[in-house]
Structure formats: C-alpha cells, structure tokens
C-alpha cells in the first residue's frame, strides 16, 4: 500500500489535486485499486536531522495505517511543510486527518465503490 516507483509519484504530482495546511500538503489522484496507496516525501528543507525526518515519516505512515481504510481508490503523496516532534505531534496528526477527509471529498468516487 505504498507508492514506490517514480512513475507512480509523477502521476500524482502531475494531476495537481492538492490540499494543505500549516503542517502538510497532500496531493491525491484516483486509482483503480481497491486500496489506497501512500507516498511520503520529506526533504532536508523540512529538517536537517535525519532523526526528525524519519519521525515525520513514521508518524504519517502510522496514521495512514490506522485511518486509511476509508481512503480506498486513492494514491496520496504527503509532503510536510514544517518539522514537528512528539510535543506537537498530536496537532500534526489532527491536521493530517483533516486533510485526508478534505481530499477524499474532492476526488471523484471510483466506479464499483460505494
């Protein structure tokens, strides 16, 4: 349930359906699969330290694992806009959940899913 290939990431970036807030930008694209797929892009501009970038990636993946069932039929790329740690992680998780709901509403429903 992950985007791994460059072509998969490129197709999501090219569609340019995006929602964002202070913490994240989420790009989405419908797919013909029965599940959602996730890609996470965390550049050095967000935080110089690899430990902090890996914490962000783990947080995003865990949130997607727990709440990604209602996102079926979507390819998502999550790009953090700023760094966050365990202290403000709850606010970042709430912000990402809100973005998941917004992008779900903006994308057309896939045929065969109710």
Instruction: Give the mean model confidence (pLDDT) for residues 8-16.
Output: 89
d(CA 72, CA 113): 8
Greater model confidence, 71 or 59: 59
> Domain for residue 111, yes or no?
no
Q: Is residue 109 part of a domain?
A: no
Q: Which domain holds residue 27?
A: 6-104
Judge whether 113 lies within some domain.
no
pLDDT for position 114:
43
Residues 74-107 have pLDDT tens digits of 999 999 999 999 999 999 999 999 999 999 998 8
- Residue 71 resides in a domain: yes
Residue-wise pLDDT for 45-57, tens only, equals 999 999 999 999 9
d(C-alpha 9, C-alpha 6), whole Å: 5
Is residue 26 included in any domain, yes or no? Answer: yes
Task: Answer whether residue 114 is part of any domain.
Answer: no
Has residue 15 been placed in a domain?
yes
Q: Tokens 């365990």 label which residue?
A: 86
Residue 53, pLDDT score: 96
| Residue-level pLDDT at 32 | 86
Instruction: Provide the number of structural domains found in the chain.
Output: 1
Residue 67 has pLDDT above 70, yes or no: yes
Looking at residue 98, which CATH number applies to its domain? 3.30.230.10
Torsions phi, psi for 105 (to 5 deg) = -70, -35
């Amino acid at each position: 349930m992950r985007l791994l290939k460059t072509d998969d990431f490129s197709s999501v970036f090219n569609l340019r359906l995006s929602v964002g807030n202070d913490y994240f930008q989420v790009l989405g694209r419908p797919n013909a699969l029965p599940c959602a797929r996730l890609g996470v892009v965390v550049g050095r501009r967000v935080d110089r330290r690899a430990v902090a970038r890996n914490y962000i990636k783990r947080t995003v993946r865990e949130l997607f694992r727990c709440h990604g069932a209602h996102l079926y039929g979507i390819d998502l790329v999550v790009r953090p806009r700023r760094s966050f740690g365990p202290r403000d992680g709850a606010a970042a998780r709430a912000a990402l959940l809100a973005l998941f709901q917004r992008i779900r509403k903006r994308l057309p429903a896939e045929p065969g899913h109710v």
